[in-house]
Amino acid sequence: MADSTLVFIVLGATLAAFVWGRFRYDLVALAALLGSVMLGLVPGEEAFLGFGHPAVITVAAVLVLSRGFERSGVVDVIAEQVLRVGDRLFLQLAALTGTVVVLSGFMNNVGALALLLPVAMRLAREHDTSPSILLMPLAFGSLLGGLTTLIGTPPNIIIASYRGSVTGDNFGMFSFTPVGAAVALAGLVFILLIGWRLVPRRAGKASTEAMFDTANYLVELRVGEESKANGLTLRELQQELEETIPVLAVVRDERRRAGHAFFGTLREGDILLMEAGPEEMKLLEDKAGLRLGKEAEDEEQEAKEQEAKDEEKTAEKGEQAEKRSESPTQQKAEQREEEATDKKKEKKAKKKEKEKEKEEKSGVDTEGLQLAEAVVRNDSMMVNRTVTQLRLHNQFGLHLVAVARDGGRLKQRLREIRFRPGDVLLLQGGESELAESLATLGCLPLASRDLTLGQPRMLLVSLGIFAAAIAAILLGLLPAAVALSLAALVALLVGVLPLRDGYHAIDGPVIVLLGAMIPVGQALETSGGAALIAETLLIWGGQWPAVVTLVGLFVITMMLSDVINNAAAAVLMAPIAVSLANGFDAAVDPFLMAVAVSASCAFLTPIGHQSNTLVMGPGGYRFGDYWRMGLPLEIVVVAVAIPMILLVWPL
């Protein structure tokens, strides 16, 4: 069998696996690489050279520098200004989308979105705006912003490096800016004037209050003398129930302890604050003997009141007997005294009744429970795993309280839920450990965070290091991979961010995807597969001008990026673009630029880019919602990008 045929079989299986989504894209890419080695398409000694490719190193360095911006407070300064826009929807959209477009040009676009996502959620809640109106424009804006510079998005870095291997000269830092900036500006104008109106409104459903209405689910359960829970630890109680019903707090002697930090044994009189529906309530009563704290308290109160009434009646009878023997003057004085006492009692009763009504209206007090929302990222270790498999409480000190998917709260048992990218989780944990645990799990916090400004010195140092790296690239002193890696190293050495955070910033799955797919893409070229595809396209479009084929390449790449990772799309389409250019005896630059722009414009589906997936849960979107704004936006992109490419990079 010819090598080109084998390459097509491997790529076909790889694309099918990417679209299926059962296995994470880095595992699929690694399987494709090893399969190519086994079939002899990639020499064994060259199998892992992709991991040392300049594009891979550049992406890793950009991720570290992006985290440095976050840590030093550069982005928080911007976010603080965004929060001041007021309640006009147009201004909110302009501030959020415009900011993310600018940020995405100089840092990883997923990182820029992750930083502004909590800001968008806070704006939506403070001004009673549906999050769905803000979040899709924000995600699309992050993709548009990445088009503007070399480091804005991985496809730009890949195409720049590929051009170097073909022509001996890479694209520069701002080679993408004329075309990318024009497309980004046109896309931004479209989103602000028309696009947001096409987004389906998920009013109420996507808000946290609707997804996680904890006031309707939190209940107080009392441990009685004969309760099975009496004498058990919380872990033993979970084992007894055979269910992961989270205990959010334990109240003892009017002091509340958070459930995740309570390691003692339960005893009579303890009140458990739990997140439970009707089915769980029955289970708790049957298996653990727990009763609603309110009911138990009411019964005790009724018994005490009845006893007090009986005592009062006995005392009244004695007083009446004494009154018969008293003088009329004494009786009048005592009567006035009794009336005054009755008025005081009446006032106290009314006050007590008001307090009771207020307590009932406010529901269960959730203050201090340290509940946090987070969205599951595409590369999260939680994907396709259950809470039991992850051992959330034992390993990470977290309680899972609830899960929302597609804008609605899941009603099934927590232990049966297999997490998916975009799921929104309601978690409880210690305030100090919560951020670290979420980072380890691969979740993005959504809670309205307080904006903490970095040290001014580090803010300026971070910007200075980045500016020096850009200057070195522009002046031709250092290649982009070396300059940016050096900048990342200096940032770590001077303490802009800790070394541990630097390693956490590197997106492992993306690095593995690039390192594995680069040799496979080269195999497509060396086997003659790319030339074969180009020849077929030339036969079909041979009678048409080269510009028509350029448009076809642009559209095909864009469609491919809607179903597979944009970096993978760029790796696969770059050799085909060069073969097409050679077939037309035209310059390679316009064809490579077409691939770079189109590979980053995945607007039709939530799976085409991480930014789209990250907003799916918080925005309450469904799979079919994206094309409503995405399809017209892609038409705008094609209409602007092709003339600009031909103007800046003539055929």
Residues 76, 116: contact at Cβ < 8 Å?
A: no
Q: Please report the DSSP string for 327-389 in residue order.
A: -HHHHHHHHHHHHHHHHHHHHHHHHHHHHHHHHHHH-S--TT--EEEEEE-TT-TTTT--HHH
Query: What pLDDT does 410 receive?
Result: 78
Residue range 465-481: average pLDDT? 88
Residues 469, 461: contact at Cβ < 8 Å?
A: no
Query: What pLDDT does 205 receive?
Result: 40
Residue range 119-147: average pLDDT? 87
Residue range 97-106: average pLDDT? 90
Residues 446, 138: contact at Cβ < 8 Å?
A: no
Burial letters 48-60, b for 16+ CB under 10 A, else e = eebeebbbbbbbb
563 pLDDT more than 50: yes
Query: What pLDDT does 346 receive?
Result: 65
- Residue of higher predicted confidence among 262 and 467: 467
Query: What pLDDT does 310 receive?
Result: 63
The Cα–Cα gap between 636 and 144 comes to 12
612 pLDDT more than 70: yes
Indicate the burial class of 330 (C-beta count within 10 angstroms; 0-12, 13-18, 19 or more): exposed
Query: What pLDDT does 528 receive?
Result: 83
Instruction: Report which secondary-structure segment, H or E, holds 220.
Output: strand 218-222
Q: Which residue has the tokens 């607007």?
A: 603
477-526 pLDDT, tens digit each: 888 889 999 999 999 998 888 888 888 888 788 888 888 888 888 888 78
Query: What pLDDT does 242 receive?
Result: 67
- Residue of higher predicted confidence among 143 and 434: 143
The Cα–Cα gap between 542 and 536 comes to 9
The Cα–Cα gap between 608 and 562 comes to 4
Residue range 266-292: average pLDDT? 73
DSSP for residue 402: E
Query: What pLDDT does 452 receive?
Result: 45
Query: What pLDDT does 358 receive?
Result: 42
351 pLDDT more than 60: no
Q: Please report the DSSP string for 236-289 in residue order.
A: HHHHHHTS---EEEEEETTEEEEGGG--SB--TT-EEEEE--HHHHHHHHHHH-
Q: Predicted confidence band at 450 (pLDDT cuts at 50, 70, 90)?
A: very low
Q: Predicted confidence band at 447 (pLDDT cuts at 50, 70, 90)?
A: low
Query: What pLDDT does 314 receive?
Result: 62
Query: What pLDDT does 93 receive?
Result: 92
Phi first, then psi, for residue 253 (nearest 5°) are 55, 40
The Cα–Cα gap between 80 and 460 comes to 17
- Residue of higher predicted confidence among 445 and 552: 552
Residues 192, 94: contact at Cβ < 8 Å?
A: yes
Who's near 265: CB < 8 A, 6+ residues apart?
A: 231, 232, 233
